Structure 1
Amino acid sequence: MTLSAPSARSVDLRVEPVENVLDHVARSLQVDLDRDTVVRKRRSVGARTDRRTWVRIERRGLDRIGVQGWNGTECAARLEGVAQPVWRGCVVWRDADEPVMWRVDETDLLPSAPIGNAILSEDPKLQDAWWQAFNASLDALADQDTRRVATPDTVTITQALVTEAIRSISHSHDFDTTIQSWVPAHADLNWANMTAPTFCLFDWEDWGNAPRGLDSASLWGSSLAVPALADRVWQERRRDFESRDGKLMTLFVCSKILGPDAHPEDPRLTPARRVAERIVSELQAG
């Protein structure tokens, strides 16, 4: 009989006390943390160090650490041709009181500021050189080899997951949803995980093999509230969007926007629904 890992208490690190954790990190890495730079998110905490690096601290329950592990940033360090912060090292420990583990990854500082929130409401007015660097990194990433499997929204992506998501919005079962090409993807590509004016892609926790076009479709979905920006993403990644797999990934992303938890005033609803209907018609026509 296989014993499953115990479930961890659900916490929000934006409000959970973390001073002891920060002290542990400082001792383990032999650095001083600039407490004025601490950024607290639901699943992670980050801070700048006195050696001009950045540490990202994540808490994860043992039941959420699967076969793949949770060393995405470390594994991404070997990727060639992808603009990302240099990875320096890590510290991992098991919590003494709860069924959770803590992981700290230390990287170089970002070359520029993050572009914005995951979903933008105004055009960041990126230069052509930025788009060239963006395309070069995405193309280089797709040419790599890995055994990792992407975990968008921390859920392992599978053919069954893709099919279920697409069926939830297509209301039709008369076209094939089988993915033909699986390639390495960042799997959390949005405007909060890239920098400008110098392009850099960070937060690699979820990367791995995914259907071709996932990253392009994800960024397009994050841009729909700014039509000109969404159009630019589509133009830059046209090869992805015009492929069959890219069309399926666009539907996959639309399913997240149009799902049961959608906010009725989300400005992305109407364009996502319109594009989804068009793509379904194209796939039905063969």
Structure 2
Amino acid sequence: MSSEPDDPEVAARMRRAHTVACGFLGAVLDARPGGVTQEAWGWRGRTLGRPVTGPYGPAWLRVVRSPVGRTSGKLWMGPEDAEQLVPQQVPRPCLRLVRQWTKGEEAYKAELYDLVVDGTLSSTPVLAAPPRLTTAWWDGLRKALDHLSAVRTDRTAVRRAYLDRAMPKYLAFLGSGVPTTPPAWSTAHGDLHWANLAGPELGILDWEGWGTAPAGYDAALLHAYSLTMPETAERVRRELSTGLDSDAGRFAELVVITELLQSAERGDNLELVPALRRRAEEVWHRMTADGVAGR
């Protein structure tokens, strides 16, 4: 999740769209005591989610905005594709209803989900405090990622052309020879961070960007977002060692670090940058020792 957009007109437009969506889907906005409504914003105000009561009971109503000409891409269709193709062994809120409309040059989509009662483990992708998670939660996450990795899809979360272009640029501080060819590919959630994970009962939210990625990508991303909390990062490495402790997993870590260093140029998650660079050096040292460099 992100903060409310800086542009007040964008925020007002999305709140109006959310009200329209409530009318379309027969939902009523829920407010906390004192009349304050919970809001979850996507990147730069692209999405807005709020708790509602709908035709199926307590729910979460999310509104997505896109230019009219860009409504056929993977982000627009991701949740609906996941509802059809991702098996039930991957725990996530059920997508109940979808409604689309346009207003001027903007297209909107309303998505009504079952409410995740426990809520997410963090309000932001980067942890503010260590989560308290059970062995069962971690076991469930491992199984969910295993089931997801086997899903067959033509959706793409990470493109090979991006790796060839971005990895040499953002990992230049490691020197030459950093590989850009993944040892293996598998299907990934593509945005597995702490604000997209629920607990204490496991739930995986936000299925916009799922698709094929370098094997180990989800584990590597969750680990990267944990680096400001060393004990949590160690727990991720231990619990998700199958995805991380291999040539494929180490390569996936470099992919994720590349992406996050690039996003930091736009001002995102700047607090992660020193830890990301240190981790890249650690991973590259291990890859070099294992003879991966230059393959």
TM-score range, shorter chain: 0.7 to 0.9
1:62 to partner: Cα distance: 3.2
Shift of 1:243: 2.8
Structure 1 Cα separation of the partners of residues 197 and 60 of structure 2:
15
2:75 and 2:209 in contact (8 A); partners too: no
- From 135, 140, 152, the equivalent of 2:142 is 135
1:184 and 2:190 correspond: no
Per-residue deviation at 1:110?
0.5
Deviation at 1:158, TM superposition (A): 1.1
Q: Which residue of 59, 83, 93 maps to 1:85? A: 93
Match of 1:47 in 2: 50
1:89-141 residue CA offsets vs partner (Å, 9 max, x unmatched): 1001122x22x210111110104121012011331121111101111111111
The alpha carbon displacement at 1:45 in A equals 1.1
Against the structure 1 CA distance between its residues 71 and 89, is the aligned structure 2 distance closer, same or farther, given a 3 Å change threshold?
same
Instruction: Kindly indicate whether the alpha-carbon contact (under 8 Å) linking 1:134 and 1:199 is maintained by their aligned counterparts in 2.
Output: yes
The one-letter code sitting in structure 2 at the alignment partner of 1:22 is: H
Name which of 102, 121, 137 aligns with 1:115. Answer: 121
Q: Which residue of structure 1 aligns with residue 156 of structure 2?
A: 149
CA distance in 2, matches of 1:220, 1:124: 13
- What are the residue-to-residue correspondences of 1:9-28 with 2, within 5 Å? 15-28=11-24
Change (3 A) 1:71 1:257: closer
What percent of counterpart residues are identical?
26
8 Å Cα contact 2:64/2:110 also seen in 1: yes
Helix, strand or coil: the match of 1:136? helix
SS in 2 for 1:114: coil
2:47–2:65: 8 Å Cα contact kept in structure 1?
yes
> What's the counterpart of residue 31 of structure 1?
27
Q: Which runs of 4+ in 1 moved over 6 A?
A: 10-14
Which is helix-richer, 1 or 2? Answer: 2
Deviations 1:9-51 (A, max 9, x none): x967873344431332122112222254341412211122223
Larger deviation, residues 272-281 vs 127-136: 272-281
State the alpha-carbon separation in 2 of the partners of residues 264 and 130 from structure 1: 27
May I ask how many residue pairs the two structures share in their alignment?
269
Report matched runs for 1:62-101 at 5 Å.
Answer: 62-68=68-74, 70-78=76-84, 79-80=86-87, 81-95=89-103, 97-98=104-105, 100-101=106-107
Query: What is the aligned partner in structure 2 of residue 5 from structure 1?
Result: none
Of 272, 275, 282, the residue aligned with 1:268 is: 275
**Aligned residue identity for 2:141:** F
Choose from 239, 250, 254 the match for 1:251. 254
SS of the aligned residue for 1:37 comes to: coil
Change (3 A) 1:264 1:56: closer
How far apart, CA to CA, are the structure 2 residues paired with 1:269 and 1:174?
19
TM-superposed CA distance for 1:239, in Å, is 2.1
Taking structure 1 as reference, are residues 183 and 265 closer, same or farther at Cα in structure 2, changes over 3 Å only?
closer
The answer for the alignment partner of 1:153 in structure 2 is none
Q: CA deviation at 1:235?
A: 1.6
What code does the residue aligned with 2:160 have?
Q
Deviation at 1:184, TM superposition (A): 1.4
Name the counterpart of 2:203: 200
Distance 1:225 1:145 in 2: 34
Contact between 1:113 and 1:195, CA under 8 Å: does it hold in 2? yes
Q: 1:13 to 1:49 in 2, by over 3 A?
A: farther
* Residue 23 to residue 82, structure 1, CA distance change in 2 (3 Å): same
CA distance in structure 2 between the partners assigned to 1:273 and 1:231 by the alignment: 15
Secondary structure of 1:54's partner? strand
Code of the aligned partner of 1:275: E
Amino acid in structure 2 at the alignment position of 1:208: G
Contact 1:13 1:44 (C-alpha < 8 Å) held by counterparts:
no
Query: Which stretches in structure 1 are left out of the alignment for 5+ residues?
Result: 1-9, 151-156
Shift of 1:164: 2.5
Cα distance in structure 2, aligned partners of 1:19 and 1:257 = 29
- 2:245 maps to 242
Aligned residue for 2:159? 158
CA RMSD of aligned residues (A): 2.6
